[in-house]
Chains A and B, each alone.
Chain A
């Protein structure tokens, strides 16, 4: 497709019509020359730009060109990922997993934050959306997004993890497949405690119901103490409005607690003297333990770590290797991460990247010289409560062989093969 892109004619908007088609640009030279226009003017048929469905301008193709001999793409409205980077979430019918193996830092890019929802992502017009707080309060109130933004705000970097974040069973699994239902953002909003004061929560209130405005009308009962302690009604994520998949226009955010409790698209909070026993805290998000017992209201995320490099499907070469990974705890700060390069016989303390934040992912690194022999590498984290990440076997011993699928945080071991291949050591292969 050939377009005549005249800057004088103000038809830059042509880009917005295209959906992943290659556009060749040629254009008339501008009447008045500014640096930007001159740059633009030098773009003739040489640059190919594609336009993604959501209006991003993306560099594409022309890989045989010397980039110092052609003008690059113009400044755009939305940043892009290099066409050479394929970093994507891995969706299933009910969730979408973060590519943990692709990340360098401890913040998850917002568009790669894992997704889990029970009735799809709703399209919500913030003008028509309100948060109602009622029940055991002195003064029931409703808040628009604009109202919430008027209150003093807080920001906090913390992880969010689904309590059903554990997969195993075969050697060919990536960190994303094993543990991709955890992500980290800077969340900005108003403290729920501020709103609690505003409505006058009565002393008789012990629980509150958090309810979403999605088609599942998601509900969880939360102890009031957590609301006073550190709950946030978040409208910001990594500096921009919370993304639709994460609860636009605002969500509840409960640091350190299982992701489902951080109800998205929040529309209602009801204060009560009892929990509501909703489906998500009875039929789901409860787990069998020993003696036929079932644990409920198991909110805290226990400490966990995972090596994200080297991991399947990468392979390694003899010599120095920087083992890298993520560690976190829902009960406080990460105290230390240890790495074993001999199948758990001995452990060495890994370096942890500052800052180490409360209830937040940290990155750890450990330098290792691989001699080419077969081995297993693994990591374990200890948090500030003195809790050390268990093995799968320890979890089975503690909870029984019928243990449920929530809150599983075992040590993940990677097998290093002689030829350098890295394979998961799935739980069913262990002694």
Chain B
């Protein structure tokens, strides 16, 4: 994945052309806008405490993961209380969508799930904490989110039931579909990609 970022960074740095529109811009001002290096001093300093209050993202490196740990058996209980209504028993489907891969051959088009699609395990923690349950977003404790993350990873056959999920172990989990992801190779021009 490292190579992927690198490649992508290069692509962006080399391919971007300045497309900023010049229409409607008085010619005499055009220069001034391009030479815009002024600092205006607007906005106010923000304290670390203010940032921490809303800085809830979790990176693939594990940066942003809070203290605590989770285990699938505990997560199952929380899932049954707070998630089954929309995601079905065992996460196999409902109005909120499928979360767990099933081997049901009757399902013609395979649903994308955490197990067969998601490239990073940290995304499970980040997303569940920020947006679920859909009807009560932001209501789960970090502890609950760790348990639920462990449960969803276990239900998808990625970790065993006893695996402890915490800030150290979660970023190390290898997702089965990780290698399938590639950067965008469309570039414009005459080739359809």
Contacts and interface: CB of A to CB of B under 8 A. Distances in A.
Max chain B CB contacts within 10 Å: which of A215, A256, A355, A395?
A215
A294 B180 contact: yes
Interface string A236-259: 000000000000000000011000
B134 to A, nearest CB: 7
A7 interface: no
Given A119-B134, A142-B50, A283-B117, 15 more contacts: A142-B45, A147-B42, A151-B40, A197-B37, A226-B12, A230-B18, A230-B19, A274-B60, A275-B5, A278-B127, A283-B127, A294-B180, A296-B184, A300-B188, A386-B189
B42 A274 contact: no
Given A197-B37, A216-B131, A141 B57 contact: no
B188 A295 contact: no
B126 A302 contact: no
B120 A134 contact: no
Interface of B: 5, 8-9, 12-13, 16, 18-21, 23-24, 36-37, 39-46, 50-51, 54-61, 112, 114, 117-120, 122-123, 126-127, 130-131, 134, 137-138, 177, 180-190, 192-193
Interface string A193-205: 1110110000000
A355 B23 contact: yes
8 contacts: A142-B46, A147-B43, A150-B40, A277-B60, A282-B118, A282-B120, A359-B19, A398-B193
Contacts, number: 190
B127 A267 contact: no
User: Lowest 5 CB-CB distances: which A-B pairs, in order?
Assistant: A385-B188, A298-B184, A279-B127, A141-B43, A142-B46
Contacts of B56: 217
B57 A219 contact: yes
Nearest to B46: A142
Nearest to B18: A229
A198 B43 contact: yes
B188 A358 contact: no
A354 to B, nearest CB: 10
B186 A277 contact: no
Given A297-B8, A386-B188, A390-B192, A150 B54 contact: no
A164 interface: no
B192 A398 contact: yes
Nearest to B37: A197
A428 to B, nearest CB: 15
A388 B191 CA distance: 9
B131 A215 contact: yes
B46 A278 contact: no
Contacts of A398: 192-193
Given A270-B57, A358-B21, A142 B188 contact: no
A270 B21 CA distance: 27
A295 B184 contact: yes
A130 to B, nearest CB: 8
A331 B8 CA distance: 17
B40 A386 contact: no
A215 B131 CA distance: 7
A383 interface: yes
Contact of A297 (B37, B120, B126, B184): B184
Nearest to A267: B54
A345 interface: no
A215 B8 CA distance: 31
Contacts of B23: 355, 357
Contacts of A147: 42-44
B184 A140 contact: no
Contacts of A229: 16, 18-20
A134 B39 contact: no
A270 B57 CA distance: 9
Contacts of B120: 277, 282
A268 B39 contact: no
B58 to A, nearest CB: 8
A277 B190 contact: no
B12 A225 contact: yes
A370 interface: no
B112 A283 contact: yes
A404 B40 CA distance: 45
B55 A141 contact: no
A119 B190 contact: no
Contacts of A148: 42
A297 B182 CA distance: 9
Contacts of A283: 112, 114, 117-118, 123, 127
Given A147-B43, A274-B59, A277-B122, A140 B186 contact: no
B130 A150 contact: no
A388 B188 CA distance: 9
Contacts of A142: 43-46, 50
A270 B51 CA distance: 10
B131 A119 contact: yes
Given A279-B127, A296-B183, A216 B59 contact: no
Interface in A275-312: 275-279, 282-283, 286, 289, 292-300, 302
Contacts of B20: 229-230, 358
